[in-house]
Structure 1
Amino acid sequence: MGAMTPANMTLGDTERTVHTAVDWLIRFESDNMTDSERRAFEQWRAADPAHELAWNRVAGLLNESLSVVREAGLRAPGQVQAAQRALLNTRRRKLLRGALVFAGVGGASALLAERQMAIGQLWADLQTGTGQRQTFALADGSSVQLNARSAVDIDFNQDRRQLHLRAGELIASVAPDASRPFMVQTTHGIVRALGTRFLVSQQDAQSQVVVLEHSVELRTRDGQHMRIREGEGATFNAGQIERIAGNASAQAAWSDGMLAVENATLAEVVAALKPYYSGYIRLSPEAASLRTFGVFPLDDPGHVLRTLAHTLPLKMHHYGNWLISIDVKQA
């Protein structure tokens, strides 16, 4: 496979590349990069024209600001270092704003818009933006509640009632109709209602179902199937189903604006918070594996992260309103 060029990058590819460029910039700012890390950076930068473009765009914001400092230095020697430090702090507030201009090469504010609303889902029948939960009434008397940054297409006809979950998470409350089954389809399979209320979520690698009332029948894309009853849940991909241990109903706490976790990794907590945060959360691999428990308010991700920083060995750096970087404190 050839290198990805800006012309054939998707918005998801662009976002990942910008994230990587931001990571490199943070490492440079730490002033303790090793020679091997610098070589790795040069290899990353040379591996793809899109990497070079992302780096120039992110780092260029700082260079443009420092050119003003250099000019001032010619007129006021001795003040350059102090001004440079001030600009580095200013750059923290502007870092992602500058990076966002890079987005998509075809739309200067595409990535910024993507953090408010999943651009790829704009044409879905039902959708929610960042930090938004909403309940929609359906034509058959059923209703569906969408978590933040979720999208659904509706396919109702005389033979069936089917929702296609394109992204995110939903809770379906199903009205009875003996002649038309009610189903939710994800990339990985189909969940058929045998009762009234259940949750379905979809991620890149797998989907999840949790039964809140009565039961459902789950069938993966490759034909695996399972009956799941009230209080039970399962994760599944195209060919495999795995039950969730214990009472899975806590997975639905988001419908009340809460996040309930028990022995969850920090990576799982951050994944649940991301649909509620309009910026970016950078989590180091070491921090991602830490485990925690508790009940937290989804509508204030910053508060949740500050609370976790008091109970876990974490250090957080805020770069304005656009980036939170989380690492493990060094002993």
Structure 2
Amino acid sequence: MSDKTDDRFNAEAVDWLLRLENATDKQAIQQAFEQWLASGVQQQAAWQRVNGLLSAPLADLQGIEQLQPGHTRMASRALIAGPQLSRRSMMGKGLALVLLGAGGLALANRAAPLGDLLADRRTSTGERRRFTLADGSQLSLNARSAVDLRFDGQQRVVVLRAGELQVDVAADVNRPFIVMTREGQVRALGTRFTVIQEAGSSLVVVQQHSVLMTPEMGAALRVESGQALRFDRQGGTFVEPSLRTCVDWLEGRIEMRDEPLGDLIAALRPYRTGLLRVSPEAARIRVYGTFPLDDVDRTLRSLAETLPIRVETMGFWLTRIDVQ
């Protein structure tokens, strides 16, 4: 079979990964996928190649299919033309798949979230930023975060599109300060708090004074200084302190106190352009220590030296972590 034929079926396999992960009608997509997979040995071989290469669904491709066609073509052309991704060298390593449309977009999306290019304020992979808003409030964004701003004469609204923010709210008795997520809204009753947009839920952590959290379809809950509340559209639950409730990222570090390695890897992902994969067994290992966010390689080396794990790197774009 020619390389062009392989590329075509590889591209179809990657496309099915995207569809399966982003589908709203899971049953219909699954049936269509099974029909495609049963339609020939080329399809089956391509599916095995793609899954063998990545060993996991392409979770980092979430949302790329929803981008405007102009954005995807532009990102793909820029990535393929870039000197850091020589097509010949990548093919020489058997990794030509990453230069297919979806794979190329995955890497572009890892460098800077393509779905948030038009956000009012945003950060790229490995980037933290602090902004002074029009009212004097101080807004800090963790890596791979994005917000939209809706300030007018009646209210001050920050829409958290992705990632994590901390805000020091400037006093304004005439205009409430509100952070909106996909699950509800957090209204400032004081000065400093953090909001995190997670998959299917949000987390609010209060550093000073208090906030009022109102889910989309539930009753409001007050969160006091030192408390953390995870909420969905129906309501919220107070949670125990953990790395997710800390704001060490403002100082470029993360502190673990007998917490799962999988949680640490999740916190490192916004700081690494390449993909980080951790096996379920390795993810359960408990971790102590303080780790730098701005040098992920150093953190991974430290973990490999002190934990019963192995860290395997496939070029710059994929790192696997598993038990020894």
Which residue of 3, 13, 36 maps to 2:18? 13
Give the alignment of 1:9-158 within 5 angstroms.
13=18, 46=37, 94=93, 98-104=96-102, 109-158=104-153
Identity %: 38
Which deviations, in whole Å up to 9, do the C-alpha atoms of 1:238-282 show, x marking residues without a partner?
A: 123121224889611101111122222111111100000010111
Deviation at residue 128 of structure 1 after TM alignment: 0.3
- Give the direction of change, closer, same or farther, for the CA distance of 1:154–1:117 in structure 2 (3 Å limit): same
Q: Contact 1:58/1:99 (CA < 8 Å) preserved in 2? A: no
Deviation at residue 232 of structure 1 after TM alignment: 1.3
The amino acid across from 1:211 in the alignment is V
Q: Contact 1:309/1:315 (CA < 8 Å) preserved in 2? A: yes
Q: Contact 1:259/1:298 (CA < 8 Å) preserved in 2? A: yes
Which residue number in structure 2 is paired with residue 223 of structure 1? 218
Rounded Cα–Cα distance in structure 2 between residues aligned with 1:169 and 1:148: 8
Q: How many residues align?
A: 266
Q: Contact 2:13/2:50 (CA < 8 Å) preserved in 1? A: no
Structure whose alpha-carbon radius of gyration is higher: 1
Equivalent position SS for 2:159 = strand
Which residue number in structure 2 is paired with residue 69 of structure 1? none
Equivalent position SS for 1:109 = helix
- Give the direction of change, closer, same or farther, for the CA distance of 1:179–1:6 in structure 2 (3 Å limit): farther
Rounded Cα–Cα distance in structure 1 between residues aligned with 2:140 and 2:44: 39
Which residue number in structure 2 is paired with residue 28 of structure 1? none
Which residue number in structure 2 is paired with residue 66 of structure 1? none
Which deviations, in whole Å up to 9, do the C-alpha atoms of 1:78-101 show, x marking residues without a partner?
A: xxxxxxxxxxxx8799465x3321
Which residue number in structure 2 is paired with residue 277 of structure 1? 272
Give the alignment's TM-score, normalised by structure 1: 0.71
Q: Contact 1:135/1:146 (CA < 8 Å) preserved in 2? A: yes
Rounded Cα–Cα distance in structure 1 between residues aligned with 2:146 and 2:311: 31
Rounded Cα–Cα distance in structure 2 between residues aligned with 1:224 and 1:58: 44
Which residue number in structure 2 is paired with residue 294 of structure 1? 289
Equivalent position SS for 1:302 = helix
Q: Contact 2:211/2:223 (CA < 8 Å) preserved in 1? A: yes
In structure 1, runs of 5+ residues without a counterpart are 18-42, 61-89
- Give the direction of change, closer, same or farther, for the CA distance of 1:103–1:91 in structure 2 (3 Å limit): closer
Deviation at residue 325 of structure 1 after TM alignment: 0.6
